[in-house]
Structure 1
Amino acid sequence: MEKLDLRVQSSLAKSIGTMVSIAGALTVTLYKGPALVSMSSSSNLHNELRSPQKNWIIGGLVLAAGSFFLSLLYIVQTSIIREYPEELMATFICCVFVTIQSTVVALIAERNPNSWRLKPDTELIAIGCSAFFAVALRSLAHTWACHKKGPVYVSMYKPLGIVFAIIMGVTLLGDTLYLGSVVGATIVAFGFYSVIWGQSEEEKMIDDKDIDSLKSSSPKAPLLQTKSIFCRN
């Protein structure tokens, strides 16, 4: 697991980078600023998606709780995968339990039987793509990355997803690009780089310690002794 030691430069860089990334994500969410690139087609979509302020507050609290439990999941997943290094089996078990929980919640939330009918159209394709890419493939990639790099490395890509969401929203959906989004995305990028740099420095320190321990533990025969053995042979 991760060790926090602010006296070490790499650990300090990871701590500062994490706080900077959180600040960047909050900047994107809370600060809008003037519009830099305005798309006329996005106004109708924003009017359709507009909801009361109460729903936005509840949604923000639910997303914050989801991020907290997702961080706990990464920590538990890393502990399990180091004891049982089988990424495919761990991903399969996780997907099975996610399916069971989602089914129970969906049956409680949606009681109209007509909503459960699947038709061979775009909705079925969207469900299949979500099941393969958003659940199975993503869970497998997260499990493998937790096994190789640890939970902090995987969690740091979540704020970076905001940057990609902004870019794809502007280019594909025609969203308006605001100054707050650009500033927040830049802050997130700097924080992400700081954490990745600290992670790489810690890995170098661990590798150097392993090399030093191997050198100190390897038996060293005297030069005259090895030379005499060579002459006898």
Structure 2
Amino acid sequence: MLRNHCYKDVLPFSAMVAVECTNVLVNILFKAATLKGMSNYVFNAYSYAVSTLILLPLAFIFSRRTGLPPLKLSLLYRIFLLGVLGSVGQICGYRGIEYSSATLASAMSNLTPAFIFILAVIFRMENLALRSSSTQAKIMGTIVSISGALVIVLYEGPKIISTSSQTLSLSHHFPLGSSQTNRVIGGLLLAVENLLFAMWYIVQAQVMKIYPSEIIVVFLYILCGTVISAPLCLIAETDLNAWRLKPDIALVAIVYSGFASSFGTVAHTWGLHLKGPVYISIFRPLSIAIAAAMGVIFLGDALYLGGVVGAVIISVGFYVAIWGIAKDEEEEMSEDCGFGSLEPSSNDKTPLLQRCKVEDLSM
């Protein structure tokens, strides 16, 4: 009884908290490395390569143990599109962290469900049942989340926590822009990142419907991301000296990023099968508090009122939207309340946001 309780409750809870901590630490290490002069493009290319090397044996073992269907060309096209969206989105995201902070990145990441909902409505993947409480919750959650993002980007406010130990700052890298200007640019880049990843999740839902093997799909996506990001980053970062790694914080950040991505993938895949997507989603806003604490302690970041207020608003909107998803599940995924399907089918009533697994694979 106790063993079963630990496996079904204690272990998933611990794993999800650990995943959020590792994801935030990636951003913290990246920020620290850029303050030491590491290029965002170098980090992006190398981290994809490390993740590919780590997942290669897992994909090989998994493919040997299970009889997998052959990969069709139409599926490979979609996986390649995943690579394009993921690599460009990650470049925008890390660039946004350079301009702003890991705390802002964690807060803005909770916009993804709102963007998925908007895209679903635009492309008529979602049939709006305005009288349904679940649809109203998703609409309200989207509006509240976007409002919180605008507060974070446009309103800085007074400092709540400030440290005098900060020796490096954004002005070292962006001397021509004020902190407010850098914050706005960083926020916009992070918003673009989450919009691209919302598209990524929609395509991923379609891929998983065709080829339901998470490990193989993730490995092929990361492999495509490596192939795509390498030439893009080489074009963007022409200084060959920047590509030479030394035993410093940059190397630590790159290697840790690869391991963290692989760990998060495995943990989320296991958690999805054991507890479902809504359970994993509720841990996402936890990353905001973790990022704020780590940023203040390790980077000497200042904490502003606007960031705190905006993060709270986004988190409220996120949970309202998640409640709408949970309500869909309780109503047995009826057509009136669901997000529709990527391809019209009388047998597919699963909500799009649920199939997109909004919490899966923190890129």
Normalising by structure 1, report the TM-score.
0.71
Residues 139 and 89 of structure 1: is their aligned pair in 2 closer, same or farther, counting only changes over 3 Å? same
Within the candidate set 63, 83, 87, 2:214 is matched to: 87
Q: CA deviation at 1:22?
A: 1.6
Give 1:177's aligned residue: 303
Aligned length: 208
For the 8 Å contact 1:22–1:188, the answer to whether it is kept is yes
Partner of 2:160: helix, strand, or coil?
Answer: strand
Whether 1:38 aligns to 2:162 is yes
For the 8 Å contact 1:77–1:143, the answer to whether it is kept is no
Q: CA deviation at 1:111?
A: 3.1
For the 8 Å contact 2:282–2:319, the answer to whether it is kept is no
Q: CA deviation at 1:63?
A: 3.8
For the 8 Å contact 2:152–2:307, the answer to whether it is kept is yes
Summarize the alignment of residues 1-233 of structure 1 with structure 2, pairs less than 5 Å apart.
2-42=126-166, 44-53=168-177, 61-134=188-261, 136-138=262-264, 161-206=287-332
Q: CA deviation at 1:47?
A: 3.8
Matching residue's letter, 2:137: A
Please give the per-residue CA displacement for 1:168-199, whole angstroms capped at 9, x wherever unaligned.
32343222222212211221221122112111
Comparing 194-203 with 33-42, greater Cα deviation is found at 33-42
Higher Cα radius of gyration? 1
Residues 207 and 104 of structure 1: is their aligned pair in 2 closer, same or farther, counting only changes over 3 Å? closer
Alignment RMSD, CA only? 3.7
The share of aligned pairs that are identical, in percent, is: 45
Higher relative contact order (CA 8 A, sep 6+): 1
Matching residue's letter, 2:207: I
Name the structure with the higher helix share: 1
For the 8 Å contact 1:166–1:181, the answer to whether it is kept is no
For the 8 Å contact 2:153–2:184, the answer to whether it is kept is no
For the 8 Å contact 2:278–2:326, the answer to whether it is kept is no
Q: CA deviation at 1:96?
A: 0.6
Residues 48 and 113 of structure 1: is their aligned pair in 2 closer, same or farther, counting only changes over 3 Å? closer
Q: CA deviation at 1:204?
A: 0.5
